Amino acid sequence: MRTLAIFAHPDDEILGCGATLAKRQDVAVAIACSRTAQLYDACGAAFSAIKGAPYYPPTLIRKWFPDQMLETVCFNDLVSWAQELIDRSDPHEVITHWRGDNNRDHRTLAEAVLTACRPIPGRPYSSRVLAAEVVSSTEWWAQPAFVPTWFESVTEDQMVRKLRALEAYKEEMRLAPHARSYENVKALAINRGASVGVAYAEAFVLMREIG
């Protein structure tokens, strides 16, 4: 099963589904925008920590849209970019943002990815689309509320890999009690796991699945 993770900023992919990406065997990551070249470089280091493999840049990270200004980009350009990623990778599963996130880039990209994932006969499209929970964004917006409908059970090792990957984005992390602290990222996984009877879990909204 090939998983394609499409997120707005470096660190979103790890915060939202890092342990799930560690669990998956065939993974590609695409990031739409970044504030600095250093964050771009951190993407590869984070990916290496997640997969336990030598550093290499995720091959689908290749185009930068303006950070915190995605709503100013032609929507069709965003959709075309996401569609090209899907065409190239032909994923079974696409993971992206929840369309109700507090961050406007997240919301804009979520809409573009969902549009790109529409099932057009004769073109590659994903049979499963998941919206991830990105701490300090997803929970800071009231409507539409994030109510998980898909829980991915993850192991202690996969959680350790997620936390190590976040060290690549240490400038984006905060001290507790901020939601984007190492302690609270782990606490959220424990809480999500407890709600479904496992040690750790990452939560998603299932946007579509074709059985």
Q: How far is CA 140 from CA 73, 83, 146, in A?
A: 24, 29, 10
pLDDT attached to residue 106: 96
Q: How far apart are CA 47 and CA 203, in angstroms?
A: 20
Statement: the pTM of the whole predicted model exceeds 0.85: yes
Residue 188, pLDDT > 60, answer yes
Class of domain 2-209: alpha beta
pLDDT digits (tens, 9 = 90+) for 8-38: 999 999 999 999 999 999 998 888 987 777 7
pLDDT digits (tens, 9 = 90+) for 106-126: 999 999 999 999 988 887 778
Residue 192, pLDDT > 70, answer yes
Strands laid side by side in the 200-209 sheet:
26-31, 2-7, 93-97, 128-132, 200-209, 150-154
The upper half-sphere exposure of residue 88, i.e. CA atoms within 13 Å in the direction of its Cβ, equals 15
Residue 61, pLDDT > 80, answer no
